[in-house]
Amino acid sequence: MCGITGWLDWEKDLSQERPVLQAMTACLNNRGPDAEGFWLHPRVAFGHRRLVVVDPTGGKQPMSAIHRKHACTMVYNGELYNTEDLRQELLAAGHTFLSHSDTEVLLHAYLEWGPDCVERLNGIFAFAIWDERAHHLFLARDRMGVKPLFYAQRGSSFLFASELKSLLAHPEIKPVLSREGLAEVFALSPARTPGHGVFQNVHEVRPGYSLIVTPNGIRKHRYWKLVSQPHSDDLRTTTERVRELVTDSIHRQLVADVPVSTLLSGGLDSSVITAVAASSFKEQQRGIHHTYSIDYVDNARHFQSSSFQPDEDAPYVKIVSDYLGTEHRTITFDTAELIDALRTATLARDLPGMADIDASLYLFCREIKKETTVVLSGECADEVFGGYPWFHRDELLHAGTFPWAKATRERASWLSPELQDWVKPEAYVAQRYEETLDEVPQLPGEDPLEARRREMFYLNLSWFMNTLLDRKDRMSMAASLEARVPFCDHRIVEYVWNIPWQLKMHGNREKGILRKAMEGYLPDEVLYRKKSPYPKTHNPAYTEAVRSWLLEILNDSSSPLLPLIDVPTIRRIANLDAEASGIPFFGQLMSTPQLFAYLGQLDFWLREYHVAIQH
C-alpha cells in the first residue's frame, strides 16, 4: 500500500510549491517507508510514499504514460486483484508495458477507458489522475471504501490525501470543528458519516464514487451501488457460488512479491481465509504458511463470558493452526503497552477512535511487520453475511437507530449543557440514520421483515463496516503493514446482498450459508463456533490506568476537553465501579473502560492538533 497526496490550483503556478508538497507527503511516511516520489506541474503537484508489495523496480510513482498522444500522470494507493486480466485486455487493444506492476495497468486502463475504467477494477484503491488532454483531475475510491481518500477545496485550490494529517500540513487547511464536526466526534464517533472529513469543509470521497475536478467545480459520480433483485438460486447453487466467490477472492489476494500471512483468531472468518491460504501455499510450494493472533497478559485469568464475547480464542487458534499445519505466533501485550499506544493510535487515525481496540491492533501490526509485509484479515464477513447480534435480536433489529450505538441519549448526558443544546446529538444521529435508510435499494413486494433486514445490511455495509475498515487501514498502515480483506470483494457483496434471510441463516445459524459453503475446509468445532469479536483486554489494570488518566484530565483546569463535557457526570462515572456497566456504548467492545480511554484520546487530540471550534 501507499500514501498519496496532491494539490490542484487553477491560478497558482504549483511547479514552485515543492516545499509544501514535501511537507504534505512526509506526513504519510508510515504508509510508504520504501520510496518517495514527487511530480510538479504548473497546475498540479503530486506526492507519493510507497510500500513495495509488487514489482519493486517497475511500480515507482507518481507514474506518467502516453498512449496515442493521450498523456496522464497518476498517484495510486491500493492493490488490484485482476491485474493480469486487465493487462491481457489492454495488450489486445495495443498498449505496451514496461513493468508487471498493477500501477501501470491501472494507468493504462484509464488511458483506454477513461473514468469508466473503475467499473472494471477488482481491488482496493484510491487514486488521482491528471488528464492532460481533458485538463481535469480524476479521483476514485474502491467500492467498499477499504482505502481512504480525503479532499478539500479552498478558493482556486483543490487538495487531496490518504489521511487528514496530510491535508492539515497545507497552510490553507485548518483543524476547525463546526457544529457538525462536534456532532461527529461526540455523537457518532468512532463511526463517521460517509463522505464526512470531520474538520470544517473537509470531505472524503465516498466508497464507490469518483470525482472529476475542473475549473467549473467538482462533479461527483456514483459508479457502483447495490442492486436489489430476487434470488433464484437454490441452496446447492447458492452454496457452490458462495464457495467459488470466497475462495477465488482469497486466492487473488495472495499474490505479492513479498511475504504474505494471515491473521487467525480461531473464529469462522479468519479460519476460512487461513484454510484457503494454507492450501494454496502447499499447492504452489510456497513454504509453510504463517499465522498470527493477539492476546493480553493475564487475559485468561480475567476473562468473563458475555453475550457479546462468549468464549476465548486461544483454544480455537491452536485447533486451526494444528489442523492446517501453519507456523503460528501469538503476540501478547501488557497494559502499559496498550496505554502508551492510545496516543499513537489517535495520531494514526487523526481522530479519537476505538481506544484500546485501535491501540492493540496497531501494536499487533507493528510486531507482525517485523516478519511479513502483507496480511489477510477476516473483516467484513459479519456485515456481508449477517453475523452480528443486531441481525438476530428483535430489540436490536427494530431499535429505530444504529443498533451498535443505541446509547445516544446516554452519550448526550456526558456533554456540557451548552454543547448538548448546540449540537443536539440525538437529533443529529436520527437525521443520519434516516438519510441512510432513504438510500436503501428496496425490492418491491418484499416481505416487511425481509425488507427490514435488508435495511440492516445496508446500515452495516455503509457505516459499521466502514468504521472497521477505517480502523484496519490506519492501524496497519501506521505500522507499514498491508492488510487485505478478501470478504470485501464486491462480487461477494453483490451476490450475498440478495440471498434471502432463510438461506443466509442456513441451519438457523448466523452466517449459515458461509459455514455450509466452507464445509470440508475446517473442523466442525471451528466451522460452527459461535461468533466472538476481536479480543480486547479484560485486565482490571487497564481500567485503573485509563481511569487515572481521565481523572488527571478532569483535575487539569487547562484541559480543552472540560468545557465540552459535563464534568460532574463524567467524574461520577469515573468514581463508580467501572465494570458495573458491561453494556457497550459502541459496537460489541466499547464499554466503560473504553469511554475513559476515548475521553483521554479526545483531550490528547484537541491539544495535539490544536483543534479550534467555530461557533
Query: How many whole angstroms from its chain centre is CA 569?
Result: 33
Q: Write out the three cell numbers for 40.
A: 510538479
* Residue 175: cis peptide before it, omega within 30 degrees of 0: no
Taking the C-alpha atoms of residue 262 and residue 377, their distance in angstroms, rounded to an integer, is 6
The neighbour count for residue 254, using CB atoms within 10 Å, is 21
Q: Which residues contact 539 (CB under 8 A, 6 or more apart)?
A: 296, 297, 298, 299, 302, 335
Q: Which residues contact 155 (CB under 8 A, 6 or more apart)?
A: 172
Q: Write out the three cell numbers for 533.
A: 469479536
Q: Write out the three cell numbers for 420.
A: 448538548
In the block, which residue shows the cell 505466533?
329
Q: At what angle do helices 83-92 and 102-113 cross, to 10 degrees?
A: 50
Active site residue 2: yes
The neighbour count for residue 553, using CB atoms within 10 Å, is 23
**Are the CB atoms for 490 and 144 separated by under 8 Å?**
yes
Catalytic one of 2, 117, 380, 488: 2
CA distances from 357 to 62, 240, 346, 533, 598 (A): 34, 35, 12, 11, 11
Which ranges constitute the DSSP H helices of 10-122?
Answer: 18-26, 83-92, 102-113
CA distances from 574 to 304, 373, 557 (A): 21, 40, 17
Taking the C-alpha atoms of residue 597 and residue 488, their distance in angstroms, rounded to an integer, is 30
Element (H, E) at 72: strand 70-80
CA dihedral defined by 311, 314, 319, 325, rounded to 10 degrees? Answer: 150
- Give me the residues paired with residue 45 across strands: 7, 40
Element (H, E) at 412: helix 408-413
**Are the CB atoms for 8 and 170 separated by under 8 Å?**
no
The neighbour count for residue 435, using CB atoms within 10 Å, is 11
The catalytic site residues sit at: 2
